[in-house]
């Protein structure tokens, strides 16, 4: 907890100082962007984080002209509390993510992205419980609209004991087939170190419609091959089931 709070405080202070310096007359062009989205179910790597219920997800990011960036993102969740239907001391209803990295290119068609991501879940946890806080490093390489990304954990993975050095491989293709219309495809594989029975693959097929003033609507079909017995919560809901996700978002 102390490590995560220290990281959060440092990121906020750094974020504030960079925003102030970016207003100076001699500063390179940089951007501060934000977004908010509403989804009928928050899926992360194919698994429901909200017990198949809606979520609100705000985010903000500062992009420096050099390619360096820092951001924060959040969502309501219930997957931790959903591990038990009793009034247990395990309770968390919020996910707060902090990240920083560097984006660049080495030709007109190739781009790369490398960075560090921290997943933080404030809440109450019983003694001896493996806290879900997770730190990942990531590296992405893209050719035009096709990208390959690998994420590697430097801590335990989302509460799995002894799962340090887990990895997630993500292959995505997002193709604008008509002005304002984008085809979204994705396949990924989550490896859970030292607990291979919990490893699984997920995939997605969807479409996004962008409108003026930063509004967009996305509809996607998601599925996984996760083991039902391992990913069914205390309410009897299989979190890796095939499902459709509707996303309404606004960027600013």
Which candidate, 165, 163, 162, 95, places its Cα nearest to that of 123?
Answer: 95
The answer to whether 40 touches 219, Cβ cutoff 8 Å, is: no
Above 50 in pLDDT, residue 248? yes
Strands (E), the chain: 31-39, 43-44, 47-48, 55-63, 68-76, 94-105, 110-120, 134-143, 146-153, 167-178, 181-191, 200-210, 215-224, 243-251
The answer to whether 46 touches 188, Cβ cutoff 8 Å, is: yes
Span 160-213, pLDDT tens digits: 999 999 999 999 999 999 999 999 999 999 999 999 899 999 999 999 999 999
* pLDDT confidence of residue 26: 53
CA atoms within 13 A on the CB side of 153: 22
Q: Please provide the average confidence, as pLDDT, over all residues in the chain.
A: 90
* pLDDT confidence of residue 5: 39
Structure tokens at 52: 């198949």
* pLDDT confidence of residue 87: 62
Question: Which domains, and CATH codes, for the chain?
Answer: 2-251 (2.40.160.40)
Least confident residue range of 49-53, 107-111, 149-153:
107-111
More confident residue, 176 or 26: 176
Span 97-134, pLDDT tens digits: 999 999 999 988 999 999 999 999 999 998 888 999 99
What does the buried/exposed string (b/e) look like for 127-146 if buried means 16 or more CB atoms within 10 Å of the residue's CB?
eeeebbbbbbebebebeeee
* pLDDT confidence of residue 27: 53
* pLDDT confidence of residue 91: 85
pTM for this model (two decimals): 0.87
Span 88-97, pLDDT tens digits: 678 899 999 9
* Cα-to-chain-centroid distance, residue 224: 17
């Amino acid at each position: 907890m102390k490590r995560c709070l220290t990281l959060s405080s440092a990121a906020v202070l750094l974020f504030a100082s960079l925003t102030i310096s970016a207003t100076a007359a001699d500063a390179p062009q940089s951007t501060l962007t934000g977004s908010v989205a509403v989804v009928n179910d928050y899926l992360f790597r194919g698994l429901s984080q909200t017990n198949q219920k809606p979520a609100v997800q705000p985010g903000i990011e500062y992009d420096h002209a050099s390619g360096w960036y820092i951001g924060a993102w959040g969502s309501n969740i219930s997957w931790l509390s959903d591990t038990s239907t009793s009034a247990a001391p395990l309770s968390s209803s919020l996910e707060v993510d902090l990240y920083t990295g560097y984006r660049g290119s080495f030709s007109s068609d190739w781009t790369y992205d490398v960075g560090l991501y921290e997943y933080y879940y404030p809440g109450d946890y019983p003694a001896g419980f493996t806290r879900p806080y997770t730190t990942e490093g990531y590296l992405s390489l893209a050719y035009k609209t096709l990208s390959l990304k690998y994420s590697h954990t430097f801590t335990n993975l989302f509460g799995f004991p002894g799962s340090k050095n887990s990895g997630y491989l993500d292959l995505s293709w997002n193709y604008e087939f008509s002005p304002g219309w984008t085809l979204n495809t994705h396949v990924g594989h989550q490896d859970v170190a030292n607990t291979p029975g919990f490893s699984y693959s997920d995939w997605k097929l969807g479409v996004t419609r962008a409108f003026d003033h930063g509004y967009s609507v996305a509809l996607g079909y998601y599925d996984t091959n996760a083991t039902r017995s391992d990913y069914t919560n205390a309410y009897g809901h299989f979190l890796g089931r095939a499902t459709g996700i509707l996303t309404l978002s606004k960027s600013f």
